[in-house]
Amino acid sequence: FVFDSLTVIMLVVVTFVSALVHLYSTGYMEGDPHVPRFMSYLSLFTFFMVMLVTADNFIQMFLGWEGVGLCSYLLITFWFTRV
């Protein structure tokens, strides 16, 4: 993993925005029976975003990129129900 000045700035931005989203989500999801699953998707998204930002080679970057895509899909389809 690489920690140069650009990486540190991006880590601060990613963790700050992620913290705000987590705080907002705790109030927004209050009363929902599936809060643990939603929060795990959100935390996994943050993990893969940090992995993407700190990637040292293309394989780590690819895994971070694909993880962010997977978690985005899981978060977007969280409330999807078939009719």
One-character DSSP codes across 19-77: HHHHHHHHHHTTT-TTHHHHHHHHHHHHHHHHHHHT--SHHHHHHHHHHHHHHHHHHHT
Q: For the segment 9-44, what is each residue's pLDDT rounded down to a tens digit?
A: 999 999 999 999 999 999 999 988 889 999 999 999
0.85 surpassed by pTM: yes
